[in-house]
Structure 1
Amino acid sequence: MDGDRTSTLPGAHGVRSYVAGFVARLTERHRLPLDYTAASLRLVDLVVDGLRRDQPERTRIEPVLWGLGAYTGEVMVRRVGGRWIDFDAGQRALFGQPVGIRMPDGRYWNPVGKVINRFEDGSEESVQRFYLTLHGRVGRRALL
């Protein structure tokens, strides 16, 4: 992503309200049940697959992909205990995004990048499977 486009995306402090607005617009227009559950991430996979079918240039639909990625991250925040962070320069270079998720176990995740990968590479890059790799990590950490 170029500097101009990423500079217009919200930082970590603004992602939650950005996602709320994105979900409101998407559910109003398309009646998608985006309810911040793990099951709703299957819908993210399906929406991205639908976008791929039309074979648009990624730059044309990047705001939608970013919104779906931010929604995926917000599910991680609400369900698995992650928190939004602003990536530092090294992380931005690695992940190609301005924000991401830091999990309670200290690992960093890039849900926006995962959605973009789904668009570019197809079903082998499942957003729902991405989320399911996190399952149970909060509970194990709490036991340490």
Structure 2
Amino acid sequence: MDITSAELPDAAGMRAYTAAFVDYLADRSRLPLDYSARSLRLVDLVLDGMRRTRSDRAEVEGLLRGLGGYTGEVLVRRAGGRWVDLDEAQRAWFAQPVGVRMPDGRVWNPLGKVVNRFESGPEESVERFFLLLHGRRRTPVECL
């Protein structure tokens, strides 16, 4: 099955979903996605390339979900967050079923941030989102 056509799982399944997506991209494009904060710059560049070559969001929805999952997994691994299922009000606000809760209790929407970068361009940087993120641990969390 093509991982880009898969639906998003619940919070408990996001780590496996993201790992499958990273493997999918590695097999097809050799992108060095290593779950580092620096790799989010590569996510920005990939999204910029997608903006230039594919203007229709529906055409790249699966890739956007996968890159959003990857961005969220970087928050989990490097900033102390954890995947959470969003409640009804949060789903309506974020337009996503899952988010990342940071150690200070705030919930962030990395999937939506990726969509914003695709739709709006460089002013919505995924890398900057991570670097300026409130509520993250000051020291990186080791990969699990």
Would you say the 8 A contact 2:64–2:111 is kept in 1?
yes
- Say what the alpha-carbon RMSD is for the aligned residues: 1.7
Contact 1:73 1:101 in 2 (8 A): yes
Tell me how many residue pairs correspond in the alignment.
134
**Pair member with larger Rg:** 1
Q: Distance in 2 between matches of 1:92 and 1:47?
A: 26
- How far, CA to CA, are the matches of 1:99 and 1:135 in structure 2? 18
Opposite residue 111 of structure 1, the aligned amino acid is: P
In structure 1, the gaps of 5 or more residues are: 1-6
User: Aligned residues: percent identity?
Assistant: 64
Q: Distance in 2 between matches of 1:139 and 1:63?
A: 32
The residue number in structure 1 matching 2:108 is 109
Q: CA deviation at 1:136?
A: 7.7
Q: Which residue of 2 aligns with 1:37?
A: 36
The structure 1 segments of at least 4 consecutive aligned residues displaced by more than 4 Å after TM superposition are: none
Once residues 89 and 9 of structure 1 are traced to their aligned partners in structure 2, the CA distance between those partners, rounded to angstroms, is: 16
Contact kept, 8 Å, 1:69 with 1:115, in 2: the verdict is: yes
How do 1:2-81 and structure 2 match up within 5 A? 8-81=7-80
Q: TM-score, normalised by structure 1?
A: 0.88
Paired residue secondary structure (2:105):
coil
CA displacement at 1:117 relative to structure 2:
0.1
Change over 3 Å in CA distance of 1:55–1:35 after alignment to 2: same
Task: For 2:26, give the aligned amino acid.
Answer: T
What code does the residue aligned with 1:108 have? Answer: V
